[in-house]
Amino acid sequence: MRIIIIGAGGRLGAALAREYATTFDVRAYTHADVDLTDLDRIRELLRPLDFDLLVNSAALTNVDYCEDHRDEAFMINTEAPRVLAGLCHEKNAKLIQISTDYVFDGKARIPYQEEDEATPLSVYGESKREGELRVLGASERHLVARISWVFGPDRPSFVDQVIQRARQTSHVAAVTDKFSTPTYTLDLAWWLRAAWEKHLSGLLHLTNAGECSWQQYAQYAIDCCHQHGLALQAKRVEELKLSDMKNLIAQRPVYSVLSTATFSHRTGVEPRNWREAVAEYIKTHVIKR
């Protein structure tokens, strides 16, 4: 199987490229290889290639930056996926487009199902939702996978930033009234594989199980570090309200937990709880640094 990974310089793309290269013929492209604002370059790069699957994990994900750069956000998050979807359709190849929990407004209090109405609050969310629609409209074979709070060994994420701060100071704080689910890149790589091997298409939610606030996520990470004897100054993560974050520009959904029931029903795979994944990540990739 021939696979192309777009966004291989990012946290998820790097993990996918590494994990899939052990089994498949993988070509991985970073931003230096292909700029998603250059649609002609995308066509020029991909048209001569033969491939069976393309995974687009690249996106403009800085939520606040997107608010002030709407055209750039829609070019990268909407128009580029549209072009990729069309190219894949021409080649009878499958596209897996990575999307986000930010397509929802956060007013729910139970996990979002794939069929729930998407009403994004931000330019970032709007551009990602429009990208979903372009991909799904190009071919019935394509898959849009919504994910949230991604962490993994290839690039620092929230959990790494918390641990680094806890090494340097006893004062660590995180938001306690915004909820979603951490998603481990190494788990996600195998869930995506299960999805395409089952020929899944359309919309699919893929995260670890459970839910938490940023504060609960940070506290658990610090607890794991102490359990393994990692020297940290901080022991307790103090609570912040989302309203305390005066530097934020874009509005965020306060509850964006995604239900993975559809994935489990159609593949027989039950994603493990986020706590188990975080504990493994810290033990395997943080403690040994």
Q: 20, 124, 220, 281: which one is catalytic?
A: 124
Residue 62: count of CB within 10 angstroms of its CB? 12
For residues 149 and 140, is the Cβ–Cβ distance under 8 A?
no
- Active-site residue flag, 124: yes
Closest by CA position to 122, among listed 248, 37, 240? 248
CB within 8 A of 204, min separation 6: which ones? 114, 143, 144, 145, 146, 195, 262, 263
183: enclosing H helix or E strand:
strand 183-184
Residues 6+ apart with CB under 8 A from 89: 138, 139, 141, 142
28, 119, 102: which is closest to 60 by C-alpha? 102
Task: Give which of 157, 133, 188 is closest to 11, Cα–Cα.
Answer: 157
**Any idea which residues carry the catalytic annotation?**
124
